[in-house]
Amino acid sequence: MLDSLRQIIQEVNSAPDLASVLSLIVQRVKGVMQTQVCSVFLRNPDGHYVLMATDGLNSDAIGKVSVEKGQGLIGHVAMREEPINTEDAQSHPKYLYLPETGEERFGSFLAAPIIHHRQVLGVLSVQQIDKNRFDESNEAFLVTMAAQLAGVIAHAEATGALRRIGQKSEARFSGVAGASGVTMGECVVVSPNADLNSVPYQTNDDPEKELEFFQNCLFAVREDVKRLGIELSSRLNKEERVLFDAYLGMLDDVSLAGEVTEKIKSGLTAQYAWSQVLLEHVSTFNNMHDTYLRERASDVRDLGSRVLAYLQQSTDQKPRFPDNTILVGEDLTASVLAEVPSGKLVGIVSLRGSSNSHIAILARSMGIPTVMGAVDLPFTHLNGQELIVDGYRGAVYVSPSEGLKAHYQAIINEDKVLVAGLETLKDLPCETTDGHRVALWVNTGLMADSMLSIERGAEGVGLYRTEVPFMLRDRFPTEEEQRIIYREQLETFAPHTVTMRTLDVGGDKSLPYFPITEDNPFLGWRGIRVTLDHPEIFLVQVRAMLKASEGLDNLRIMLPMISNVPELEIAQMLIGRAYDELVDEGYKMQMPPVGVMVEVPAAVYQAREFASRVEFLSVGSNDLTQYLLAVDRNNARVAGLYHSLHPAVLKALKIVVDDAHSEGISVSICGELAGDPAAALLLVAMGFDVLSMNATSLLKVKSVIRAISLESAEKLLEQCMLLPDADSINRCLEAAFRRAGLTRLLRPDDAV
């Protein structure tokens, strides 16, 4: 059945619309499984499951017959979220007779739920007259087809195809929270040049003019290929020269140009028509059994990109940026953001990247709600559509209902009022009602971060991401270039402390000129492991930091991803060497405090050993949580398993604080947990000396800490440490906030 599955998937990917997909699915599944009936039921806005396609039941029932969740066998499958396989449907206790369908003559019944991101979108079923239970291979095949169909339906929700056949109107897509906040606006799709997968859906106003434009571009590419073939003829063997002939053959292919022409005549732009036809051909080659033919898919894609480059370069269409622009793209960059006129950018959605990506860091500094890693979002079809971006939970809503818009508008209004009210706190000390003082520092990476931090009353920098200047260049910055950047940061916050983390690349943070490719980068070559393997990079950076601190002496150096004592000792030796060199060169600065980031489980259980060798510890809560829970925090598919307040995380944090204090050194925490007002109460109760967070969270956290006593926070911590799971801990915190009248400072609830 694997070959049949591949064939069906290929046909589905080539189908022009959802109605065609559903019709194709029921026909092909019925044929492969040799049954008398195959049907698809889809959920409508009321939660009913409506018959939307069938091959075998009465076609007049399509769009008219529906069942509630839990009603009949179809509704029972939707409620149970698992297949039902019975040899005699009518004898099943959940059987419901639907006379309009004409199904009374069928005995055996097999159905599987269509699930996308834990939401049951519909049910795929097959039936046959004979009362014989479907075997396991048939059941597995139907489950596989239902899983394939789930992605297609989710895509149809977002692009509006389901609305056109009377189904639900809004769609929700999950990503990773990149920058907090909520916004509503109009989608503007941006895509890299010559990327067939990223061409936005667009229509043309003049098909004849568009066809002429397309033919001119084809001619230009033909001439390019001929010229390139001639130039390289002396350096290529006969077999390699054949490739150029193949390219010319494809460009002259009447059927290929004919398919594009038909799409242009139907109203599509040449760019979009070409990309869709070429992707269909690439898919065809990819699914061929012959290895040689499968490998030709890359040739087709390469040719497609060459033509697309001409189509994109020759067009004079410029993006239109409305006043409420939400930029959406596969892999956005800082230069793309710069193209949006000032004041018009209200939200960002990137299909790739993480909360640590450069674009997310920029968004946080600009205060723009952002969602990263929205992998399933069919962005090429969303240009001009209305979106809601929820940067608190990493959610994107397409074509939201009036009720949903009203809900989020209330959150937006509340956020504005809250921020305005908190401004009065920026110059007040961060201390509990019974006088316990807590330092609030910030995480920065850009000067924009720094200026906002000072405006919000930051008392220091708990994490300066030195990798950001490295990411903004096409080569390693020189020692002097680094010194200038670090000096600016140190002067901006002087006399307050600035904690500079040594270069932390690897994992999800890569440098284009220093690529790190690994199967499992988060468990691989990253952080201190990279810089200790390249002491020339480490020493230049440390020298730049030390030079920058001359006359200010407000520098702390922090080492990322330390997992054992030898790593720490080698790093300390190199720092000492750099310091001695600079003293010999005549520089006058103090030896800065050196600390360790606790972000891997091994460091939790060696905290005391580290604490006896350094001046401070700082917990990197984001990485520590993902390593403790074995959940990639940047993977939207498992985002629901990433719980910063998991009992194991809280216990690990308490161990680190106690061990650091037992050695008489301070301990801070940076990351999303520190900026969460609810979590901040627990961190204060644990004894963290410094909470370091994004500037946008400073005043909220200060407001909470100034509203409670240390004694009450410690009692709350005792309660939470006894609870078995993150949900229970969150409920306990929410109850405490309600009692204290602080509910407005919590993030909006998840009941959306």
Instruction: State the catalytic residues.
Output: 358, 670
SS3 per-residue string spanning 595-661: EEEECCHHHHCCHHHHHCCCCEEEEEHHHHHHHHHCCCCCCHHHHHHCCCCCHHHHHHHHHHHHHHH
Kindly give, in sequence order, each residue whose CB lies less than 8 Å from that of residue 115, ignoring residues fewer than 6 positions away: 81, 121, 146, 147, 150
| Cis status, amide bond into 495, omega within 30 of 0 | yes
Phi, psi dihedral angles at 171 (to 5 degrees): -135, 145
Closest CA to 594 of 578, 580, 614: 614
| Of the candidates 719, 726, 683, the residue with the CA atom closest to the CA atom of residue 701 | 683
Q: Contact at 8 Å (CB) between 152 and 21?
A: yes
Q: What's the CA gap between 542 and 575, in Å, rounded?
A: 7
C-alpha–C-alpha distance, residues 168 and 64, integer Å? 15
Q: How far apart are CA 169 and CA 158, in angstroms?
A: 8
φ, ψ (nearest 5 deg) of residue 668: -120, 175
Q: Can the peptide bond before residue 677 be classed as cis, meaning omega within 30 degrees of 0?
A: no
Residue indicated by tokens 């600016």: 488
How far is 608 from 661, CA to CA, in rounded Å? 9
SS3 (DSSP) at 460: coil
Work out the end-to-end distance of the chain between its first and last CA atoms, rounded to an integer number of angstroms: 40
Interatomic CA distance for residues 51 and 63, integer angstroms: 6
Distance CA 142, CA 150 (A): 12
CA gyration radius, the chain: 30
Residue reference for tokens 């990493």: 394
SS3 395: strand
How many helices (DSSP H) and strands (DSSP E) are in the chain? 27, 22
Tokens for 695, please give them: 């500037």
Length of the chain (residues): 752
Counting Cβ atoms within 10 Å, is residue 151 exposed (0-12), middle (13-18) or buried (19+)?
A: middle
Q: Is residue 126 within 8 Å of residue 37, measured between CB atoms?
A: yes
CB 598 within 8 A of CB 621: no
